Amino acid sequence: MRLDIAVLPGDGIGPEISAAGVGVLEAVAARFGHAFRYRYAHCGAEAIDRMGDPFPEETYGVCRAADAVLFSAVGHPKYDLDPAAPVRPEQGLLAMRRRLGLYANIRPVQVFPQLACLSPLKEERVRGADFVCIRELTGGMYFGEKHEGADVAWDTNRYTRPEVERILRVAFRTAMRRRRRLTVVDKANVLASSRLWRRVAQEMAPQYPEVEATFLYVDNAAMRLVQDPRWFDVLVTENTFGDILTDEASVVGGSMGLLPSASVGDGTPVFEPVHGSWPEAAGKDIANPLAQVLSVAMLLEHFGLADEARAVRLAVQASLEAGVRTPDLQEPGRRPCGTREVARWIAAHVLSGGAGGAGG
């Protein structure tokens, strides 16, 4: 297979983990006989510094022309610490989602057996947790009408029936491929927009009789994620709730550096880790590349390359088993590995099929 891939390294640790993702893609291409072509483009703070825009028109063109986007991270303290900054790196991410029509963010959460002891929750609560969060990505308060004055401000949480229907279709279909349990998260006891979500979900549920659809208020869902993350199979919610809940879910497995994601919709799909740019760690070779590597697995799976995706996931599991881990995951008393070392090890394992050549 031939794929044109837009690569957006972004800010902070982005270039380091981006290189890890591309290295694994190259190993996949070599082993399975594919041809992947890469075009690099600017986004985030580095794009503001270079071009005055966090998602320049040139970058949009590269993304639109590609088969997929491998994105890493955006963000920089000089913008975080300035509430009056007229342009922010994160605006580039929102612009990319909006302009590419990416309305569904899919975040699988899996607790690796080797890392269950690292979870901030009790090991017996998290071991075996395996669920998918589906977040609506282009509606709600992030994109609704806004006003910001000296003494009053507002953000409008607006949703239309078609927007709700299309994200719920993604959620129901995802549940059909898994354990057929769907949890719709809202705040229907307070918010009119949530009552629309619940009403539409109830109307659509009979179209998927094999799926058990349940409803939770967002505060209850947040508690359930901590009390028993194994209870969930597929969780779907609106943009703002999804942002918060998926970050909460990301630490269940022991590190935010483990969670990949796919953003899909009408245009070029984007595959990215859910963590931020961690600028304090940039250039120190300590960033965990696994979320980026697992995002590569999601990219491959999106194009029907199931064996290739499985090879990447097996390599990640093997690296954890072998103790080839960055500092955030390493066991006490064992030498932590750098970003590049972990990435090379995984790429070698993919290339060799696990039959040697992956020694660390």
Catalytic residues: 142, 187, 219, 243, 247
Tell me if residue 156 falls in helix, strand or coil: coil
Structure tokens at 205: 């549920």
List the one residue out of 31, 27, 24, 34 whose CA is nearest residue 296: 24
Is 159:119 a contact under the CB 8 Å cutoff? Answer: no
Task: State how far the Cα of 217 lies from the Cα of 141, in Å rounded to an integer.
Answer: 18
User: Could you write out the DSSP letters of every residue in 88-148?
Assistant: -HHHHHHHHHHHHT--EEEEEEE--GGGGGGSSS-HHHHTT-EEEEEEE-SSGGGTS-EEE
Site of tokens 């269940």:
252
Check if the beta carbon of residue 158 is closer than 8 Å to that of residue 193.
yes
Round to whole Å and give the CA distance between 20 and 307.
20
Taking residue 149's Cβ as centre, other Cβ atoms within 10 Å add up to 7
Bridge partners of 6? 39, 69
Distance CA(259)–CA(275), nearest Å, equals 8
Q: Per the structure block, which two tokens stand in for 165?
A: 């229907």
Q: In what order do the strands lie in the sheet with 181-186?
A: 35-40, 2-10, 68-73, 270-273, 260-264, 104-110, 130-136, 234-237, 181-186, 212-217
Phi then psi dihedrals of residue 264, to 5 deg: -130, 165
Which tokens in the block code for residue 96? 């990319």
Which of helix, strand or coil describes residue 65? helix
* Dihedral sign from CA coordinates of 85, 87, 90, 94: positive
